[in-house]
Structure 1
Amino acid sequence: MTFQELYKTYIQLNEPLLSSQTLKTYHSINRKHFAQFQEKQISSLNFTDYQIFINNLLKSGLKTKTVKNIKALLSVMYNLAIQIDKTEKNPLKAVKLPKFDNKRYFNKSIETQKKIIDSIKDYHKMNDKPFSDVLFFLLHGRRLGEVLKLRWNMVDLYTGVYMIPATINKAKQSQVHLMTDELKSMLFKRYDQYYRDDEQLVFENPFTKKRYSNFRKSWKRFLKDNNLPDMRLHDIRHLIATYSVNHLNVPVEHVSKVLGHTDITTTQKYLTLSHSISKTVIDRVLEA
């Protein structure tokens, strides 16, 4: 079996389980980085081949986290090859990567974090634009993809509950969340204005009748208009985790539920202790 055949088989068997974004990423990795392997027999490729490949990716300037994701794709492909009796071993298991810090740092002051939250709330109160509603929904811990793929059949306005099915979330597990009063009011308003049928997207582009692609320009404009520091739209999730645990003292288990994490260690990567914590601890020791 050639490497190319293995890749195609892996995609064919797993396509129903992968999100469109994951598939797009895998195809991009295959196109950009796997060209040298395509026609080779997988049985002829060994640990040395892949360790040199990984080393070269790192030397080219790719981040360790990115290279780790490329290695992970290779590894699951070889696991499949073992399952279908095309090879006996997974050479990627022995391949080494340098250690790296995968903690998600949100190094904004508490004052700045509060300003971002207040700006989003105020923007939502003063605007009825689609981006305003989407941005407010993101403040509830959702990923942008989850919000933009939400359909009316996933929303129960009368019980105040919405579901993020496994097919549209990163954790691949269905999640159920109770709406805040403000979110429920916003969704009721959208329902009255735009609802046609249960399969319709909650945030449907009224011109194309399709999903919005992105809101990068709107987000950049929002940051500029509110004199906020540059940050990604996805960083709102980091903000929620950091602010909730470090300032509001919300248990990390609760924040994990809000963000839809299946493993609490994932949530812990988003959290940052105050830089003054070491001084605080030593001061208490010296004063005891």
Structure 2
Amino acid sequence: MGTRNDYKKVNKYTGIYVKEDSKTRIKTYLARAKVNGTEIEQIVGYSNDQHKTNPSLAFQKRVELINAHKAGKSTKKGDNPTLDKFFQEFQEIRKETISENRWKSGRYFYDKYVTETLKNKKLKDVDSSDLQKIINQMIKEEKKGSYIVTVKELFSPLFKKAIEFGLVEKNITQFLKFPKYDNVRYFVLSDENSKALREEIMNIPDNHYRVMFMFLLRARRSNEVRSLEWTDIDFKNKKYTIRDLNNKVRKNQSYLLDDELIEHLNIIKEDKGLVFKSNRTGKKLTAIPKRLWKRIQESVGITM
């Protein structure tokens, strides 16, 4: 979270402090208050989170935080919470900063693989062997390695948050052992078939699907492309950003926006919102269009 001196007071918004990363320019908003004689301090948002938190939103969250403490709903060091109690609060904290699907999948995974005994164990007493047992059980069930790492993807940020709250001293997920795996789908194309693949993509009649596959052709991951918003695209400086919430390295990543992409993006350009969204729900697509991809594979001769 940084030291107290890292944060600067935000004028006009009582109890709100901000810290800006010198490299990414991402701002972290911190709320401070005193409730019933107890000082509270908590990060309430980031400038690049789902809500694009700003001083006004941070102040609203501070009010909610104060009300939660008054109602006795907050987790404090003296509470010595169980894993389950802290997990519920952790889920609530991150609900607005991650996608709905990711939030629900985290809940599903927790309910399926965490035993009642472990749920009722005091958070400070949970150690790496408890989580390693989950990993070992999944290996016995012959689950894919890419799914088994969900243990770390779920519990690492949970323990980071617990450290921030002063509930534990270390992140036990760094000691976990995972099976080696390769989740990359490989296929080799001749020069002729590579040209055919490009032609198939450039001839996709639907403008949005064509641009989507153009990004995929430039080695972007499916989720990275499906999560792109118009605010992530900088036409002036010819670059686009894959935000930390949507990539594997959990850091903002910027890439070149070439002239061909710019030309086709201008065809579908909007002021805000997702670049690619479901025609039915208007929300984020759950996957790339499978039937279209299957047709392209068959036409080009891709075997996976």
The alignment's TM-score, normalised by the length of structure 1, stands at: 0.61
Residues 44 and 158 (structure 1 numbering): CA distance in 2 closer, same or farther, change over 3 Å? closer
Cα drift, residue 5 of structure 1: 0.6
Q: Which residue of 2 aligns with 1:152?
A: 230
Residues 64 and 152 (structure 1 numbering): CA distance in 2 closer, same or farther, change over 3 Å? closer
Q: Which residue of 2 aligns with 1:249?
A: none
1:7 aligns with 2:87: yes
Residues 165 and 92 (structure 1 numbering): CA distance in 2 closer, same or farther, change over 3 Å? closer
Could you tell me which runs of 5 or more consecutive residues in structure 1 were left unpaired when the two chains were aligned.
231-288
Identical columns (%): 22
- Give the number of aligned pairs: 221
For the aligned residue pairs, the C-alpha RMSD in angstroms reads 3.4
1:56 aligns with 2:104: no
Could you tell me which runs of 5 or more consecutive residues in structure 2 were left unpaired when the two chains were aligned.
1-80
Q: Report if the CA contact (8 A) 2:241-2:255 is conserved.
A: yes
1:176 to 254, 258, 261: 254
- Return the alpha-carbon distance in structure 2 between the equivalents of residues 32 and 227 of structure 1: 39
C-alpha offsets along residues 107-143 of structure 1, whole Å, 9 cap, x if unaligned?
A: 53452xx455423321133232132221122112222
Cα drift, residue 30 of structure 1: 0.6
Q: Which residue of 2 aligns with 1:108?
A: 187
The code of the aligned residue for 2:216 comes to L
The code of the aligned residue for 1:10 comes to F
- Which deviates the most, 216-225 or 47-56? 47-56
The code of the aligned residue for 1:147 comes to V
1:199 to 272, 277, 290: 272
Q: Report if the CA contact (8 A) 2:113-2:134 is conserved.
A: no
The alignment's TM-score, normalised by the length of structure 2, stands at: 0.58
Structure (1 or 2) with the greater strand fraction? 2
Cα drift, residue 229 of structure 1: 0.9
Q: Report if the CA contact (8 A) 2:242-2:254 is conserved.
A: yes
- Return the alpha-carbon distance in structure 2 between the equivalents of residues 211 and 148 of structure 1: 6
- Paired residues for 1:240-259 under 5 Å: none
C-alpha offsets along residues 50-100 of structure 1, whole Å, 9 cap, x if unaligned?
A: 4444332322222345334315533543454455344566665655x3652
Q: Report if the CA contact (8 A) 2:135-2:178 is conserved.
A: no
- Return the alpha-carbon distance in structure 2 between the equivalents of residues 167 and 75 of structure 1: 14
- The structure whose RCO (Cα within 8 Å, separation 6+) is larger is 1
1:121 to 180, 192, 198: 198
The code of the aligned residue for 2:187 comes to K
Structure (1 or 2) with the greater helix fraction? 1
